[in-house]
């Protein structure tokens, strides 16, 4: 199995786009049950709390959302026997030092070209160095685990490309140090759009809004948001993101929730009305999320168990990342201390 790494930021509650574009595929891509212990952990997942500090935030919310997201990842099916789950700041020293070393390989020009930086800095009175530097921290997250594959939604494509460029440049300058990772994209759900504005991606940091479904929304609320989705004045149900962004988004959601292809989803609704599509999507999404919500309620009642899993994850993450950081230190010419 390829070594996989991916992360999620605790900038808000997990939304349907995160779930369909990422989490669902993380869970499905874990090594098979019963995989020998030595191979387990080839799937590494992280709540990237240091990334969440790059935009204005409330410290109490960050702590609460970090715990909530980690619990929700476990509730979604990440299994500590088959994956490694940890909180980024629990091994923050390693990730931060790696970032500093990579800062000397990444360039200002390439960071300026990142569209997420342009989007998030637009209209802001002051922009933090952290927001600018975010892609280098992300490159560290990926490279520290000898990652081969990074499953992401479409919005992270540019950051994974940059990670590859930085790793190749570092290898060329200092000798073979990093595996060169590649992004993988889900067959469906790679870009779930806002239900009220289907030309904009669904995002968790916008707070509660009718266009964004949260994984922990109650079923009635989920159905209400989906049934109020913006469509168009036509009647034809077909997948066409340019001409019919709202309908295409609903088909994407249906395909992700029923684990079918887009072709199957579109032909399923051939000749049906928009209202039928919305009801079917709402039912499918509620059915997909119900077991996750039930498991979340169980796990939240046992915070000590979640703490144990996260502490174990941090220990295993440090064991895996330290040799890679040592490789980097040696490559760039840092003197090893006599006693370690």
Question: Annotated catalytic sites, by residue?
Answer: 120, 201, 204
Rule CB under 6 A: is residue 15 a binding residue for ligand AQP? yes
**Contact positions with ligand AQP (CB under 6 A) in 168-197:** 189-192
Residue of 4, 8, 46, 292 interacting with ligand AQP (CB under 6 A): 8
Using CB under 6 A as the criterion, what x/- string covers residues 262-301 for binding ligand AQP? ----------------------------------------
Number of neighbours of residue 295 by Cβ within 10 angstroms: 16
Rule CB under 6 A: is residue 147 a binding residue for ligand AQP? no
Torsion of CA 154, 120, 15, 211, to 10 degrees: -100
Residues 153, 156, 160, CA angle at the centre, nearest 5°? Answer: 120
Residue of 137, 152, 222, 265 interacting with ligand AQP (CB under 6 A): 152
The alpha carbon dihedral of 108, 109, 110, 112 has a sign of positive
Report the C-alpha gap between 83 and 73 in whole angstroms.
11
By beta-carbon proximity to ligand AQP, the closer residue of 67 and 328 is 67
Q: How many residues touch ligand AQP (CB under 6 A)?
A: 24
Rule CB under 6 A: is residue 156 a binding residue for ligand AQP? yes
Residue of 4, 5, 13, 22 interacting with ligand AQP (CB under 6 A): 22
Rule CB under 6 A: is residue 11 a binding residue for ligand AQP? yes
Report the C-alpha gap between 323 and 320 in whole angstroms.
7
Under DSSP, is residue 262 helix (H, G, I), strand (E, B) or coil?
helix
* 9 Cβ neighbours under 8 A, 6+ residues apart: 47, 48, 49, 51, 52
**Contact positions with ligand AQP (CB under 6 A) in 295-334:** none
Q: Which of 112, 103, 108, 113 is nearest to 170 (CA)?
A: 103
By beta-carbon proximity to ligand AQP, the closer residue of 18 and 66 is 18
Contact call for residues 190 and 241 (beta carbons, < 8 A): no
Contact call for residues 51 and 137 (beta carbons, < 8 A): yes
Least separation in angstroms between residue 6's CB and ligand AQP is 6
Rule CB under 6 A: is residue 21 a binding residue for ligand AQP? yes
Rule CB under 6 A: is residue 106 a binding residue for ligand AQP? no
Q: Which residues lie near ligand AQP (CB under 6 A)?
A: 6-9, 11-12, 15, 17-18, 21-22, 152-153, 155-156, 189-192, 201-205
């Amino acid at each position: 199995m390829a070594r996989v790494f991916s992360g999620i930021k605790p900038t808000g509650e997990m939304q349907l786009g995160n779930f369909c574009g990422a989490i669902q595929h993380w869970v499905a891509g874990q090594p098979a049950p019963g995989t020998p212990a030595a191979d387990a952990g080839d799937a590494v997942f992280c709540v990237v709390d240091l990334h969440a500090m790059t935009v204005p935030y409330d410290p109490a919310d960050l702590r609460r959302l970090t715990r909530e997201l980690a619990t929700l990842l476990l509730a979604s099916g990440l299994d500590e026997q088959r994956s490694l789950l940890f909180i980024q700041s629990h091994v923050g020293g390693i990730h931060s030092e790696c970032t500093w070393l990579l800062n000397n390989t990444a360039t200002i020009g390439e960071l300026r070209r990142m569209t997420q930086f342009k989007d998030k800095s637009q209209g802001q009175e002051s922009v933090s160095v952290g927001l600018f530097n975010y892609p280098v921290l992300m490159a560290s997250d990926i490279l520290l685990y000898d990652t081969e594959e990074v499953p992401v939604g479409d919005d992270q494509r540019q950051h994974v490309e940059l990670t590859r460029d930085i790793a190749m440049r570092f290898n060329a300058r200092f000798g073979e140090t990093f595996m060169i990772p590649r992004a993988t994209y889900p067959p469906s759900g790679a870009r779930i759009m806002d239900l009220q504005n289907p030309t904009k991606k669904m995002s968790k940091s916008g707070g509660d809004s009718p266009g964004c479904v949260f994984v922990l929304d109650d079923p009635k609320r989920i159905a209400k948001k989906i049934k109020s989705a913006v469509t168009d004045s036509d009647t034809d149900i077909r997948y066409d993101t340019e001409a019919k962004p709202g309908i295409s988004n609903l088909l994407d959601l249906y395909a992700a929730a029923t684990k079918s292809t887009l072709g199957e989803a579109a032909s399923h609704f051939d000749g049906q009305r928009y209202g039928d599509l919305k009801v079917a999507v709402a039912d499918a999404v509620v059915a997909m999320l119900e077991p996750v919500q039930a498991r979340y309620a169980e796990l939240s009642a046992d915070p000590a168990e979640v703490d144990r899993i996260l502490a174990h994850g941090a220990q295993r993450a440090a064991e895996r990342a330290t040799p890679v950081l040592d490789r980097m230190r040696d490559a760039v010419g840092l003197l090893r201390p006599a006693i370690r």
